[in-house]
Amino acid sequence: MAQTIQQPMTFYSRWPKPLAVIADWLTTTDHKKIGIMYLVYSLLMAIVGGAMAGMIRTQLAVPDNTFLRPELYNEILTLHGTIMIFFVAMPALAGFGNYLVPILIGARDMAFPRLNAFSFWLLVPSGILMLASLFVEGGAAAAGWTSYTPLASKQYMATPGVDMWIFSLHLAGLSSILGAVNFIVTTLNMRAPGMRMMEMPLFVWAWFVTATLILVAIPVLSGALTMLLTDRLLGTNFFKISEGGDPLLWQHLFWFFGHPEVYIVILPSFGIISHVLAAFAHKRIFGYPGMVIAIAAIGIVGYLVWAHHMFTTGLSTLSLLLFSAFSMVIAIPTGVKVWSWLATVWGGTIRFTTPMKFALGFVALFILGGMGGIFLANVPLDLSLHDTYFVVGHFHYVFAGGTVVALLAATYFWFPKMTGRFLSEKLGTWVFWLFFLGVLLSFMVMHFLGILGMPRRVYTYRPEFTTLNQLVTAGYGLQLIAGLLLLFDILRTLLRKPARPLPPDPWGVNEVQKTLDWVTASPPPPYNFERTPTPDQWRHAPSAEVAR
Amino acid sequence: MLRQVRSLVPFLAGLGLLAGCRFADPEATTTWLFDPATPIAEAVRQNFWYTASLVAPFLILAEALLIYVIFRFRARPERKPASFHENVKLEIFWTLVPAVTLVMIAVPSFQLLRQITHVPADTELEVQVFGHQFFWRYEYPEYGITLSDEPLVLPANKKVALSFSSVDVIHSWWVPAFGFKQDANPGRVATRWVQVKPGYYKGQCAELCGALHGVMWIEVVALPEEAFRQWVLARKRGEAPSIEELRAMLPNPAIAHQEG
């Protein structure tokens, strides 16, 4: 099938092969190649961010450790958080989104292919700026990924590293905004003729809602960053108390972006999990309309909860009540998703492939992470748990146990589609158990540490916390081995020529799943489909709907 | 896979044991959950177990269903997958039950919140707490006493208003056994109240405030009425009793933090 569509002629078509290939990747506007570049970018950054986590866990392996200076420790924890969110989670999800959304809706490409390439390439200077800030005089930003003022102000953190951090996030934010516009227009305008919104696969719905979140939330971050930047460089007074500014303004603006950001990195993961669970349970998604409503509800209510990150700042009692109530409300649609996933696999014939293991592991860890959220939404408890390791454990269950596990499921699930080869199932089982147990251990113990009185973002701790901290570090070790095994497997698989081409549906799941990613070739040809997909290729037979 | 799941049981039991080890250490930080030292901490502790008792059934049910599904619905050649994919009644049920549970969590939580944020009118002393990079300063306007980078000394069993502010960046004053933390914001004053059992308590800054945030410790000694008056007098004479001397003034210094 791939051969029937001609590659267009380009200026480098007559160049020698390796040069032409490089020129092709550098100039491509093909959503699949851009998607793969996002994923490679994310993987490289995950190595950096993961190494930083390793430095943090090494420092905390014993109390009063001198492995990192206190200043450097704060720089590393700031960059670890920033990199994992902006340069690992978001690009990886954007990568799968870029690759899959046009295919899943039967389109030839994104709505704006060049804008798509621009979105990706913006991330390159952005990432370089972020990493380079570690090496400037004065060091990188060291006020945490939240960069609260006045700590992040010129007065208390004079280093140009903070300015580089701001510029870097400006570029990453612009990249996300342009990407979001692209996703929204693509989803609204590029669906194959006859595909209704309520027929779109859940991954497309999840990305659609995510894109609207990005479009509203990121500009607020960009505005706040600009205010911080002009405070630092031009002498404005947005956050300076002595001049009538207010540091709490920064917190409100930051979290107005920051909480939707949490859903930006978890909603597409929800979509991934829905696909994988249904595929290997050999069943249709349970309660599709409810799932769509839940995604939308999480997106909308997600805007009304930002101040639950600020319960200890001294908000009025009324604000505390309202933000607490809205935060608890989030648990309802989230619960709908969990129950629907359980009902999706219920009664199925489950094949325990590696992606399915990760998807089931996601549900297990996400339930734990979600339950911790109820405690934090409860203000009297949050006043004790806020800014402790309980919070660190909670959001790592949702980020590492949620988003990263979903990304691993997606990697194993769509790797054959993208490359025409399977990753090793045998190694995959190891990767799964090591990573799953590592996450379970590290972040469970963090919850205990928080309850027992250890605050977050500290470079040392009282001796009584030693054993528990060593358990966290041991859990990191398990995750590290899992990551290295995955990296090894990816490289090994890519370097080996596939024995024979894979069929369009290499997992044999499309009979029930009926999504267009399993209709086109593996890997798909340029422009994805030889003929525009027709409704019979994605629409479930009406008979299946009455069989209850 | 069954064996792998079973192996989690000793793993979790081990974690519990290790957490238990902490209680063997008499110098360990006392906490709101295990040794609450104020009425608020006691109420927060009760609210924690109440919340946990409402959350736990959902946690256990969801994880148990997941494990059941994994073993029960494994693909076998003779089995055909079910074809159901909706059940509106079931969906309404699992939307409403959590909603009702959340209301049950929220109502007592909101009542307790009022108790925490509302400083009673009959407080007998006010102490002003100021965050500095990287130590705490305590002012007793009534006595003209200033404690800089020293343990906070409070009268035990008396209602004390604490007002929090900062002279530089944002800090957060946190003594786990008191059942709350409060950010010390520059340019703002927030007031909370405590009524502490006699004893010695440890805490530390809970908001990243710069390089030495991790060692911005807090120590509090709550002295019985007579001992507290003695301390005020000593302080006014210019004496500065050390933490050991302060702890020696407690009714039972060895297990002081467990005293009621």
d(CA B58, CA A10): 59
Residue B132, SS3?
A: strand
Taking an 8 Å cut-off on Cβ atoms, the answer to whether A314 and B102 are in contact is no
Which pLDDT tens digit goes with each residue over B203-260? 999 999 999 999 999 999 999 999 999 999 999 999 999 999 999 999 875 454 444 3
The predicted pLDDT at position B2 comes to 54
Q: Token pair for residue B248?
A: 């020696």
Is the Cβ–Cβ distance between B69 and A533 less than 8 Å? no
Residue A352, beta-bridge partner list: none
Which pLDDT tens digit goes with each residue over B21-53? 555 677 889 999 999 999 999 999 999 999 999
The predicted pLDDT at position A546 comes to 44
Nearest to B39 by CA among B156, B247, B195, B157: B195
A331/B contact by beta carbon, under 8 A: yes
Residue A350, beta-bridge partner list: B74
The arithmetic mean of pLDDT across residues B113-117, rounded, is: 93
Q: Which residue on chain A is closest to B216 by alpha carbon?
A: A458
Which residues 403-442 of chain A have a CB within 8 Å of chain B?
433, 437, 440-441
Q: Which residue on chain B is closest to A60 by alpha carbon?
A: B214
Pairing status of strand B160-166 against strand B171-175: unpaired
Residue A10, SS3?
A: coil
Q: Which residues of A are catalytic?
A: 80, 109, 145, 175-176, 259, 261, 263, 274, 308-309, 334, 337, 456
The predicted pLDDT at position B17 comes to 62
The predicted pLDDT at position A336 comes to 96
Residues of chain A with pLDDT under 70: 1-8, 542-548
d(CA A371, CA A353): 28
Amino acid at position A534, single letter: T
The predicted pLDDT at position B260 comes to 38
The predicted pLDDT at position A261 comes to 96
Is the Cβ–Cβ distance between B180 and B169 less than 8 Å? no
* Preferred mutation among B5, B166, B181 to probe A, highest tally of A CBs within 10 A: B181
Decide if pLDDT at B1 tops 70: no
d(CA A57, CA A384): 24
The residue with tokens 């009584």 is A464
Please give the share of chain B, as a percent, with pLDDT higher than 70: 87
Taking an 8 Å cut-off on Cβ atoms, the answer to whether A287 and B47 are in contact is no
* Chain A nearest C-alpha distance from B81 (Å): 4
Q: Which domains does chain A carry?
A: 17-537 (1.20.210.10)
Taking an 8 Å cut-off on Cβ atoms, the answer to whether B208 and A143 are in contact is yes
Burial string for A420-435 (b: 16+ CB within 10 Å, else e) reads: bbbbbeebbbbbbbbb
Sort A322 into a burial class: Cβ within 10 Å, 0-12 / 13-18 / 19+.
middle
H or E stretch covering A382: helix A379-385
Which H, E and C letters describe A320-361, residue by residue? HHHHHHHHHHCHHHHHHHHHHHHHHHCCCCECCCHHHHHHHH
The predicted pLDDT at position A116 comes to 97
The predicted pLDDT at position A4 comes to 52
Which pLDDT tens digit goes with each residue over B50-103? 999 999 999 999 999 999 999 999 999 888 999 899 999 999 999 999 999 999
